[in-house]
């Protein structure tokens, strides 16, 4: 595997990068992470990602691995060294650090910081608008899904079940029969009356950065949006459905448990939201590029 990783102050080929066998992230999944998209070489929603990382670190009582300005500099250097000058992703992980294996952790541990970045094919409307299928599974995760923890075994198993079923994603179902979210995405439906619905924030779901961007875009464009739980039956009766995430952006969902949503094709309102999101990313990339070049206005 090619590429350059950053681990605790060192930039190394990924094959040579390593952490201690007693790192608590490795032994206990005692860590948190972020995934940030890059478009035209520009970090998208950097501030919201930093804010969510701050919330996750605080929720688990973990220190920042370095001052924020230094972390921003490392992020950009990792992207540069991996030549992510167009579209790609940056993965950042912070664990509590290294200590002899015991569930309780000693005070004063130095956090472990690891980072990688990868180039992706250029983001296009045609690729992003391709409809996908999802399956539904019981939500077996812990009760603090709002923390972006590296403890993702239920998510991994759910995503694998989806892949084995020929689906793109698995939507997770709470004990009351409502959809919480996907294994790696937030879930949305659009009613026949044009109302956009997604589950409200809380401990049951992760506050997706793309979810928040879409929520704001809906408000800016006077689109009706309601944050409430919805059931699989409601989703199957909806006109459209879609999912959002940092790596999937706005992706139409056209089948749920092998049953069509609407007419089984990407819907017009989902495609409108995708176009609005693309415009937002392009604008952010343009503003950053102009700032780097010293262009005003």
Classified by CATH at the fold level, domain 4-120 comes out as D-amino Acid Aminotransferase; Chain A, domain 1 (3.30.470)
Give 211-247 pLDDT, tens digit per residue. Answer: 999 999 999 999 999 999 999 999 999 999 999 999 9
Crossing angle (nearest 10°) for helices 46-59 and 209-220: 130
Domains 4-120 and 126-282 share a fold: no
Q: Look up the CATH superfamily of 126-282.
A: D-amino Acid Aminotransferase, subunit A, domain 2 (3.20.10.10)
Residue 292 has pLDDT above 60, yes or no: yes
Catalytic residue among 68, 148, 259, 296: 148
Least confident residue range of 1-10, 86-95, 217-226, 282-291: 282-291
**Can you give the residue ranges of every domain in the chain?**
4-120, 126-282
Show Cβ contacts of residue 274 under 8 Å, excluding neighbours closer than 6 positions. Answer: 125, 128, 129, 249, 250, 252
Give 47-77 pLDDT, tens digit per residue. Answer: 999 999 999 999 999 999 999 999 999 999 9
Task: Specify the 3-state DSSP secondary structure of 155.
Answer: helix
Average pLDDT, the chain: 96
Give 124-133 pLDDT, tens digit per residue. Answer: 999 999 999 9
The answer to whether residue 148 is catalytic is yes
Tell me how far apart the alpha carbons of residues 252 and 271 are, in angstroms, rounded to a whole number.
Answer: 8
């Amino acid at each position: 595997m090619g590429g350059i990783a950053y681990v605790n102050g060192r930039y190394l080929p990924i094959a040579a990068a390593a952490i201690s066998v007693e790192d608590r992230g490795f032994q206990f999944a005692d860590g948190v992470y972020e995934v940030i998209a890059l478009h035209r070489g520009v970090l998208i929603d950097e501030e919201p990602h930093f804010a969510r990382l701050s919330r996750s670190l605080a929720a688990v009582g973990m220190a920042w691995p370095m001052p924020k300005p230094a972390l921003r500099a490392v992020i950009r250097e990792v992207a540069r060294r991996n030549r992510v000058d167009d579209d790609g992703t940056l993965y950042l992980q912070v664990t509590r650090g290294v200590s002899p294996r015991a569930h309780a952790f000693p005070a004063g541990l130095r956090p472990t910081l690891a980072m990688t970045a990868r180039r992706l094919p250029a983001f296009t409307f045609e690729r992003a608008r391709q409809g996908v299928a999802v399956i539904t599974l019981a939500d077996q995760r812990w009760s603090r899904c709002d923390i972006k923890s590296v403890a993702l075994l239920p998510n991994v198993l759910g995503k694998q079940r989806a892949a084995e079923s020929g689906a793109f994603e698995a939507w997770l179902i709470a004990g009351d029969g409502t959809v919480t979210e996907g294994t790696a995405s937030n879930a949305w439906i659009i009613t026949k009356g044009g109302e956009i619905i997604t589950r409200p924030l809380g401990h049951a779901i992760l506050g997706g950065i793309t979810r928040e961007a879409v929520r704001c875009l809906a408000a800016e464009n006077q689109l009706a949006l309601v944050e409430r739980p919805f059931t699989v039956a409601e989703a199957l009766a909806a006109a459209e459905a879609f999912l959002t995430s940092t790596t999937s952006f706005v992706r139409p969902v056209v089948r749920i448990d092998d049953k069509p949503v609407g007419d089984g094709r990407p819907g017009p309102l989902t495609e409108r939201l995708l176009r609005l999101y693309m415009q937002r990313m392009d604008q952010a990339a343009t503003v950053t590029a102009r700032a780097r070049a010293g262009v005003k206005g």
